[in-house]
Amino acid sequence: MSAEVIFLEKKLENLTRGCVRRGVSAEKFLKLIKLLPEKVTANHIKFTESVLAARTSLFVDPDICVYLAYLAFQEDSTLPLNKLLEYLRTVNEPSQPQILIFLANSLRSWENASFETLIETLKALTLYMNDANDKSSLLWSFNGTNGVIALGTLISELGKYKIFAPIFDSELTNELSERNYRSDFRVAIQEFVKILKELESYFESEISLYYNLTGGSTANSISSATALTGTITKPSRVFRFMWLESLMLSSSYIQSESLVVQIKQLLGNESPQKLVSDLIMTSFDCLVISLSRKDPAKYHNLWRAFIIKKLPDLIRSILHTNNQHSEQVITQPIHSLDSCTVSLLRTNGDNNGDALDEMFSSFPATSSDIRHEFLKACIALKLISTKAYYHTLGEDAAVDEDFTAIEIDDGTNYTMIDESNGSGLVIPISEFVTSICQENFEFIGLEDSKIWKLIVSFETMEGPKQANISKSLLDLWKQMISSEDWRLVRYFSQSLCLNISSLDALVLHIPPAQFLNPLLEVVESWVDDEDEMNFQDTYTDFGCMLLFITTLYQRYNLTIPRTAKQPSFVYNMLHDSVDVNTLATQASDYLGGWITALFDAGGISDDLMRSATIKDCYKLVPVIFQQAIMASEKGLLDTDTLKGGLEYFLQPFLLGTLISTFRWLSSYLWLSTDVTVALRIIQSLVLTSELTNDISPIHKMVLAVSADDIYFALKDLIQRDIHVDSNLVDALSSYLSVHHRPLNPLFEEENNPGVMIGGGSGSRGRNAQIPPTSSILSIAKSQLSGLASWLNAVESQNHQGNTAVGNSSSLTPPFYNSKYLSLAINLLGPETVLDSFVNEILANASQDNDHVNIEVLSAVIVTIKPSKFSKNTLIQLLNDRNAVLSKMNDGGSNHKESKAENIRITALNKRVNELKVWCRDMVLVGCNKPDNTAAICPSTVQSPFEEDKMEE
């Protein structure tokens, strides 16, 4: 291959990467491709490889899928569908299922395909199915069942949209009858359906109907198929809520420029106006339910940022040129919010639902809430008028009477005010970001730096402007890491951790893993510089990196895998994989030096600091605290000496070591009977006074990730009647990541409902907390009952002619948390959970509530991610149970219970398969990871908001 061709292929890769980063449309991407020399587009294999090489992770970005689908369905394209299928069939591409699903969901845009194009596509599919029919083929070894199911989805959708109807018309194909492509296709698809039946039973009826595999005319078959799909009931409000929550918290689509494509595909054949109305209603449902179940504050921030910053821009993209009557479409869902919902929104979930709250909910608002912010964002994007704002909010609009006097930023003003040197010049944001790297941080404090000012103002920017600046911030992040500008990395990390709402807004546009991955590689490969004289700055920089990693890991539920080749320092730090007792024996000399320096010699020397690496120091600090506590308990250290020595760890360069130390101290409180010394130490480290400007930011970062562990250990002490200083409890409260109940045991908990406080990023926010007196299965059942009651109330309101959320407080938001269900399945097994839920339906069966129970349970079955359950998914178990019951009844069973169960299981199975048609890509995409996921390198950390797998 010539150097020129290699250069051009690299140019295509860079072009694709640049288009993805800037959110360039598929149409514009195609125009840019046509400008490239023919040498780079002639070979479809090399062309496809170059486009896919622009990915930012192991799996292809959704935007690249958009480009591939657009190219595949264009006549005279560089990469027609048959060529793309040929490529995917013959290479080991991890994203093959994802691309096939995307093609299937984009088929409605394939129009006016030539006869020759259809023939070539049919041939390519025949070869693809032949490979799928051979379980020893490379296709099975590359992507397994996911690849085969994805191919079945594409073939089914091709039949649904009658793509190949011209080919099977005898008059058009008479002259080509000597070719056997039609008969080859039929032979291949008949065998392929048998394979699919083993994996997903519903494919058999679909494909058999679409391609007339049971006899009859093809035209009648296609007509019948169209009638069948037209009878599918569209997703209910419960399903839309569960779908959007799953999409928001478990995938990277929420940050993608192609999110609007995903929404259009998953919500189906709706008009743009109906799509927007459903999306607004579902978004507010998600926020209200999150508030009512008192989720960690980070999730409230996430939903608020989505509604204010992302949703208006999505609405603009969906309506596009078809924005007639957009005002009514946008304002109607807001105008129709019921009093209970409005009360929750006004108080941001802090109301207790008592009679006083209910009475005052009918009064005009005294302060603005998210309804005001959402509508103002829509005004900024010229989606609605100011008049519509006042009309929608009515008396509640009075709290913001003068907002029209404020110049609303429409997101196109990508500038910043440069206040350095007192200039106050307005400069382009790209220039401002570039100037950040030019600051001399030796003479500039954190809050005087440009990066701090940019991050602080980020939260208040309009969504489109945030999206633009987010890309600049990611580029800046990569640049500072590649140039090893560790002081700027420190300031960047501190700015985001200390302005957590800005960080929550940032991850709506950029997956947090893209900030985590480069930093993980730096920390894991960190080697101390023996010639470094200023070790304190090095320790401080390293500590801030580890604190930022911990914040991202805990706040956004990221997974940091263990590597197979060598122990992961970060993984061990975050998972307490350090044996304190073993380390105390192995490093006795080093520990002796520290103990002497802290409590006898009056300080830590440079030689002592250089006697071990930074990583060793982080591992050994908890051991130092253990030894100090033991010495104090034995009377070898008095209280003042102990306190004075350990307070040395409040120096900026050692503050980062308190992450693992606080975790160890929390465990010590749980396990020990005499905790007097440990409490004194914690109090001296938390309740510090007169912190300097360089210590305070890092100290706050440490508490934000550690407060949960300490707080709940203190709560246990109080319940054991051990005295804890109330000032210590109060100091930790503002850093919690979850809601809490009053610690005073004299108050009955039922009279003191939990209130949301704090915005920390602690460990408790990662997982669902199960009340010790409750069964995990009973909690999951009660949540399904709550969803059913809610859906019943919604339908009752709709039957009365009201399509809004409701007009009374009877429509209390349901308490549903998918983590409880995921935990139940992980602990008890999918068979037990499914049996329990089905039995619940049978026990409460009646004509009035059957369809509601089936709708709720089918929504749960479809939206729970199958990657957690290995091969035994709830969907597959349901199919198996349906088949067994059908055989029992076909055999003449006279048991009434069996027949009643069969009726309901069949109905449930049918509804599950209908919903899968709506969200096939959600079921498959993201679940096609290779078997060695746990051994991948840190650069392939899983997608944001991924729930943590069960730890061993």
Q: Say whether both 84 and 159 belong to one domain.
A: yes
pLDDT recorded at residue 104: 82
Q: Say whether both 172 and 23 belong to one domain.
A: yes
Q: Say whether both 609 and 722 belong to one domain.
A: yes
Element (H, E) at 618: helix 614-633
User: What does the DSSP assignment read for 446-507?
Assistant: GGGSHHHHHHHHHTTS-HHHHHHHHHHHHHHHHHHHHTT-HHHHHHHHHHHHHSHHHHHHHT
Provide the domain limits for residue 874. Answer: 776-792+813-889
Q: Say whether both 566 and 586 belong to one domain.
A: no
Q: Which residue, 520, 544, 570, sits at the end of a domain?
A: 570
Residue 662, Cβ density class (10 Å: 0-12 exposed, 13-18 middle, ≥19 buried)? buried
pLDDT recorded at residue 490: 95
For the chain (952 residues), the mean pLDDT of every run of 10, in chain order, is 73 84 78 80 83 78 82 86 91 84 78 84 93 86 80 85 75 50 88 83 72 57 38 70 77 57 60 85 89 79 87 83 71 85 76 44 64 90 88 80 51 66 71 84 85 90 85 91 93 94 87 89 88 82 94 83 65 70 64 80 74 86 87 84 86 90 89 87 86 86 91 88 90 75 33 41 56 65 81 72 43 71 74 76 65 81 56 59 54 51 69 62 36 26 32 30
425 forms beta bridges with 418
Q: Say whether both 348 and 392 belong to one domain.
A: yes
pLDDT recorded at residue 863: 76
Q: Say whether both 562 and 580 belong to one domain.
A: no
Q: How far apart are CA 604 and CA 915, in angstroms?
A: 64
pLDDT recorded at residue 662: 92
Asked whether residue 466 is domain-assigned, the answer is: yes
Q: Say whether both 421 and 564 belong to one domain.
A: yes
Asked whether residue 912 is domain-assigned, the answer is: no
Asked whether residue 934 is domain-assigned, the answer is: no
Asked whether residue 819 is domain-assigned, the answer is: yes
Count of domains for the chain = 5
Element (H, E) at 428: strand 425-428
921, 265 Cβ separation under 8 angstroms: yes
pLDDT recorded at residue 81: 93
Q: Say whether both 523 and 429 belong to one domain.
A: yes
Q: Which residue, 539, 570, 601, sits at the end of a domain?
A: 570
pLDDT recorded at residue 952: 28
pLDDT recorded at residue 217: 45
Asked whether residue 821 is domain-assigned, the answer is: yes
96, 88 Cβ separation under 8 angstroms: yes
Q: Say whether both 40 and 162 belong to one domain.
A: yes
pLDDT recorded at residue 129: 93
Tell me the two tokens of residue 793.
Answer: 């109330």
Q: Which residue, 889, 909, 940, sits at the end of a domain?
A: 889
Between the alpha carbon of residue 832 and those of residues 47, 201, 824, the distances in Å are 49, 22, 9
Q: Say whether both 582 and 543 belong to one domain.
A: no
User: What sign for the dihedral angle of Cα 485, 491, 494, 495?
Assistant: negative
Q: Say whether both 389 and 517 belong to one domain.
A: no
Asked whether residue 767 is domain-assigned, the answer is: no
Q: Say whether both 586 and 564 belong to one domain.
A: no
Residue listed under structure tokens 């027609």: 80
pLDDT recorded at residue 406: 44
Q: How far apart are CA 658 and CA 480, in angstroms?
A: 26
Asked whether residue 666 is domain-assigned, the answer is: yes
Asked whether residue 64 is domain-assigned, the answer is: yes
Tell me the two tokens of residue 410.
Answer: 């429409």
Residue 769, Cβ density class (10 Å: 0-12 exposed, 13-18 middle, ≥19 buried)? exposed
pLDDT recorded at residue 455: 93
Closest residue by Cα to residue 543 from 648, 624, 652, 645: 652
